[in-house]
Amino acid sequence: MKILIIEDDVVSRTVLTTILAKMPEHQVAAAESAELAWEWLNDPGRTFDVVFLDIGLPGMSGLELLERLKESFFHRSLQIIMCTAANDRATITKAIQIGAKHYLVKPLTEAAVIAKLQLIMGTAKAPAR
């Protein structure tokens, strides 16, 4: 799976990159801004399956980028995981209204990241009965 991390905070970006590096089946790229990510996402030479997207980015916010992605015919099917410290109802509701289907609250844990990727890949284990 090709994964794009969009995170301006170096510590958060490093944590997520380190977690994903433990899964060699994934190819990971990281952008520090929504503007750079938008360029990469529109580059025909680059493709991504999953995006980990922070909300609080300088310049264009993660919610603004999410809106662009959901409005774009070419990016509508992209799996986007919002990764943010914002855990208030208004922010979560707004992200869902724009089109977010996945939301992780920082600080991220390895278990949460892996579970979310398994869910997206369709390999999440069914709960025991």
- CATH of residue 43's domain is 3.40.50.2300
The one-letter amino acid at 99: G
- Listed residue (59, 114, 55, 62) closest to 84, CA to CA: 55
**pTM higher than 0.75, yes or no?**
yes
Give Cβ neighbours of residue 17 (< 8 Å, ≥ 6 apart): 5, 28, 30
| 129: in domain | no
| 68: in domain | yes
What's the mean pLDDT in 26-41? 97
| 111: in domain | yes
| 95: in domain | yes
| 126: in domain | no
Q: What is the pLDDT of residue 126?
A: 45
Give the pLDDT confidence of 82-119 residue by residue, as tens digits: 999 999 999 999 999 998 889 999 999 999 999 999 99
Q: Domain total for the chain? A: 1
CB 33 within 8 A of CB 59: yes
User: Which domain, by its residues, includes 104?
Assistant: 2-121
What's the mean pLDDT in 8-35? 95
CA 102 to chain centre: 8
Label residue 121 by pLDDT band (50, 70, 90).
confident
Report the mean per-residue pLDDT for the chain.
92
What's the mean pLDDT in 10-20? 96
Question: Distance (Å, rounded) from C-alpha 104 to C-alpha 85?
Answer: 8
| 127: in domain | no
